[in-house]
Amino acid sequence: MKFQSIKKLVMLALIVTAFVSCNNGPTLQTYYVDNELKPGFTTFDVPTGFIDVDKVELSDQQEKAYKSIDKLNVLAFKVDEKNGDVYKTELENVKTILKNPKYEELMRGGNTTDGKFVVKFLGDIENIDELIILGNANDKGFMVARILGDDMNANDLMSLRTIMNDVKFEDTDLNGLTDFFK
């Protein structure tokens, strides 16, 4: 009799756990998967090797940041005269996902003329699991970049922006992304 009660209790616990874990709302990962093949969207999976570190001199901090990054996933939506309503809806969907308190804000900027951006992250500032960049311009579209890695540090990652000026994007996997927003 005790065995049956324990068995029922374990089954009930598993069912409750399944329902609770499935009800966490939409995630950025599910948004990527659900939209990557839809019209207007394009995706890029970029390995860290897109920066030829042999051609760029890295400081110790930049090298540490570079080595902490595993990959970069980009989902972009290009707006045109026919899909303006879809653009607004999809941008709002991404913003809603990023309002989840698990995504902590690191910075935001831009303006209504050139576009806006927000940088958020999962983890803690010294040990980031995922860095998210959402950028949008009403005349071009929006882009969500997920930078995935191990033990990424916000200060170390920010040091990489100085070398981005030296990267020749036409020689990288990101060339498609820069062409996408022309």
**10-residue averages of pLDDT along the chain (182 residues):** 58 52 75 95 82 75 86 94 95 97 93 90 90 94 93 85 66 53 49
Whether 7 is in a domain gets the answer: no
In sequence order, which residues have a C-beta less than 8 Å from that of residue 40 and are 6 or more positions away? Answer: 77, 78, 79, 80, 83, 86, 87, 90, 141
Q: Can you read off the two tokens belonging to residue 27?
A: 């995630």
Residue 1 included in any domain: no
pTM for the model:
0.77
> What is the predicted pLDDT for the residue at 166?
62
The single-letter DSSP state of residue 48 is: G
CA 21 – CA 153 distance, rounded (Å): 28
pLDDT reported for residue 7: 56
**Residue pair 47/173 in contact by the 8 Å Cβ criterion:** yes
* pLDDT for the residue numbered 20: 47
What does the pLDDT read at residue 155? 85
Whether 14 maps to a domain, the answer reads no
Question: Is there a domain that residue 4 lies in?
Answer: no
Residue 13 lies inside a defined structural domain of this protein: no
Full residue range of the structural domain in which residue 45 is found: 26-180
Q: Is residue 2 part of a domain?
A: no
Flag whether 120 is in a domain.
yes
Q: Specify burial of residue 157 (Cβ count, 10 A radius: 0-12, 13-18, 19+).
A: buried
Domain count, the chain: 1
Contact 78, 142 (CB under 8 A): no
Asked if 84 and 99 touch (Cβ cutoff 8 Å), the reply is no
